[in-house]
């Protein structure tokens, strides 16, 4: 095979690898595809390979997507490394992708913490059981991602990531329950609103059969759901909400829904609607209990004496 033909074959193999890896390739993969040091240097000089990190190149152009940058980062950090923290949260869809440092965790205890746009976290506790592959990118599993991310995130960022993880039904176990059991910024705002206006304390994220209610007044049979547009979008989400509401109503619960705009921009109206519903339900419960007490008392009283017959 001529040198030209060999070069064409190498380039075809490189293109296939890069296509599977969001446009990037490692130096080891370039060598495995048939290039040597001179072949790599030639392609770098002619703009066919672009160095992203030491030993990692973009093929053909530098316009990488977020996934291309994340894949390049894990290739740069070597075998056993995984995308983690905020970057992993973005890959799982818990957060919007953003610029800045890319976070990667490697399963060793020592070494550099920064490297050309990378934040490198080193811990021997990163076992294979805590990582997986998502779209060809090694990444920490959802629960481990939240554990890592939460140590450096604000409370609002943590709530947003948790809420989206639950919305996407990612396997996070019971990690989503915070100290006040709220799982989103909107839920926390609504709970503070209830407390500020003296509304009786509800159960938060209470389990009802197969569903979890945002807020529950169990004795009154009232459920409140807080709907942020970001986390309740699309036909599938609408169908899920409708299915849950139908099930709750069939079990005797009253369901109120408040949007982000209502809770944040019209809090007085939202509280007035909630208080009116709770008060009405409380009266119905009290009336029902009063009727039961009267019926019980009637059963306990002796029958009225018959008037004496007159001869």
Alpha-carbon 304 to chain mean position = 67
Per-residue pLDDT, 196: 86
Q: For residues 296 and 205, which has the higher predicted lDDT (pLDDT)?
A: 205
Which has the minimum average pLDDT: 87-91, 175-179, 281-285? 175-179
How many of the other CB atoms lie within 10 Å of CB of 130? 19
Checking if the pLDDT of 179 tops 80, the result is no
Per-residue pLDDT, 162: 81
Per-residue pLDDT, 284: 84
Encoded tokens for 61: 């152009």
- Which DSSP string corresponds to 213-224? EEEEEGGGTEEE
Encoded tokens for 118: 């990378």
What's the whole-number average pLDDT of the chain?
83
**Residue written as tokens 């389990």?**
207
Per-residue pLDDT, 116: 81
Q: For residues 71 and 147, which has the higher predicted lDDT (pLDDT)?
A: 71
Checking if the pLDDT of 257 tops 70, the result is yes
Checking if the pLDDT of 233 tops 60, the result is no
Residues 6+ apart with CB under 8 A from 165: 92, 94, 142, 146, 172, 176
Q: Name which of 45, 78, 46, 44 is nearest 58 in CA terms.
A: 44
Q: Which domains occur in the chain, in start order? A: 11-64 (no CATH), 66-173 (no CATH), 185-289 (3.40.960.10)
Residues 103 and 120: their CA atoms lie apart, in Å, by 6
Q: What is the pLDDT of residues 137-161, one digit of tens each?
A: 999 999 999 988 988 888 778 878 8
Residues 6+ apart with CB under 8 A from 21: 68, 71, 75, 136
Per-residue pLDDT, 222: 94
Radius of gyration of the chain (CA): 30
Q: What is the mean pLDDT of residues 152-176?
A: 78
């Amino acid at each position: 095979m001529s040198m030209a033909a060999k070069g064409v074959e190498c380039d075809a193999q490189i293109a296939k690898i890069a296509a599977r890896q969001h446009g990037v390739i490692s130096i080891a993969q370039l060598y495995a595809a048939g290039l040597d040091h001179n072949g790599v240097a030639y392609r770098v000089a002619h703009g066919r390979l672009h160095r992203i990190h030491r030993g990692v190149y973009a093929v053909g152009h530098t316009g990488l997507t977020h996934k291309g940058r994340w894949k390049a980062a894990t290739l740069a950090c070597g075998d056993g490394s995984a995308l983690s923290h905020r970057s992993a949260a973005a890959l799982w869809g818990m957060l919007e992708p953003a610029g800045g440092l890319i976070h990667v965790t490697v399963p060793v205890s020592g070494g550099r913490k920064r490297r050309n746009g990378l934040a490198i976290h080193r811990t021997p506790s990163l076992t294979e059981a805590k990582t997986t592959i998502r779209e060809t990118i090694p990444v920490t599993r959802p629960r481990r991602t939240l554990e890592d991310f939460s140590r450096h995130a604000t409370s609002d960022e943590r709530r947003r990531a948790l809420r989206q993880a639950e919305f996407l039904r990612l396997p996070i176990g019971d990690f989503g329950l915070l100290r006040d059991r709220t799982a989103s910024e909107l839920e926390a705002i609504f709970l503070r609103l209830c407390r500020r206006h003296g509304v009786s304390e509800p159960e938060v994220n209470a389990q009802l059969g197969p569903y979890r209610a945002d807020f529950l007044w169990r004795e009154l049979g009232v459920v409140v759901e807080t709907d942020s547009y970001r986390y309740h979008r699309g036909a599938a989400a609408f169908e899920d909400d409708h299915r849950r509401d139908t099930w709750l109503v069939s079990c005797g619960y009253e369901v109120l829904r408040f949007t982000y705009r209502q809770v944040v921009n019209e809090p007085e109206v939202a509280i007035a609607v909630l208080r009116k519903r709770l008060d009405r339900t409380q009266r119905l419960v009290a009336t029902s209990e009063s009727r039961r007490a009267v019926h019980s008392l009637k059963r306990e009283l002796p029958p009225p004496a018959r008037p004496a017959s007159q001869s």
